[in-house]
């Protein structure tokens, strides 16, 4: 039996409470960086007691994801707006958007990430030595996620 692990057809819907309350679709993913990535998270910490006994305890950890999109695409322009609206800068208030993200996978599975914020992004188009613009990445953190 084979397992189809194709990512072709992945669709994301991002809702930002102030910037994009109706939501935006993200489908213009990069070809030279991981388009939708989530690193490993630490859910337990550990230590050793005075006499060598192992102790472990749960650690609250947000889910971090990064998106890489085609520079200059509609998706990139929307994420640039979201980044700029949530950036603290002199003489200007920032949005403090509450962000939710829904990922629809090609096999029909859906993951919903809620209670999030944008934390990082590339504010300008950068050029690679290969003569093309670099893909733009944006990072987010979320309090919780659910699968269906």
Residue 133 corresponds to which tokens in the numbers above? 């613009």
Task: Provide the mean pLDDT of the chain.
Answer: 94
Query: Could you read off the pLDDT of 73-119 as tens digits, one per residue?
Result: 999 999 999 999 999 988 888 889 999 999 999 999 999 999 999 99
Task: Point out the least confidently predicted range of 33-37, 93-97, 135-139.
Answer: 93-97
Q: Where are the domains of the chain?
A: 11-147
- Asked whether 7 and 106 are in contact (CB, 8 A), the reply is yes
CB 113 within 8 A of CB 101: yes
Give the separation between CA 24 and CA 15, rounded to whole angstroms: 7
Kindly report the pTM of this predicted structure.
Answer: 0.90
| Domain 11-147 classification at class level | mainly beta
Rounded to whole angstroms, the Cα distance separating 129 from 123 reads 19
Compute how many other C-beta atoms are within 10 angstroms of the C-beta atom of residue 75: 22
């Amino acid at each position: 039996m084979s397992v189809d692990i194709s990512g072709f057809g992945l669709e994301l819907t991002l809702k930002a409470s102030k910037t994009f309350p109706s939501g935006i679709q993200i489908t213009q993913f990069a070809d030279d960086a991981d388009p939708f990535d989530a690193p490993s998270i630490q859910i337990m910490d550990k230590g050793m007691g005075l006499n060598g006994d192992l102790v472990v305890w749960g650690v609250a950890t947000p889910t971090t994801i990064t998106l890489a999109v085609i520079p200059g695409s509609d998706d990139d322009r929307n994420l640039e707006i979201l980044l700029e609206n949530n950036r603290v800068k002199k003489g200007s208030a920032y949005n403090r958007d509450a962000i939710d993200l829904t990922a629809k996978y090609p096999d029909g599975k859906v993951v919903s990430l809620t209670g999030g914020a944008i934390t990082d992004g590339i504010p300008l188009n950068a050029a690679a030595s290969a003569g093309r613009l670099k893909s733009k990445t944006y990072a987010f953190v979320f309090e919780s996620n659910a699968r269906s």
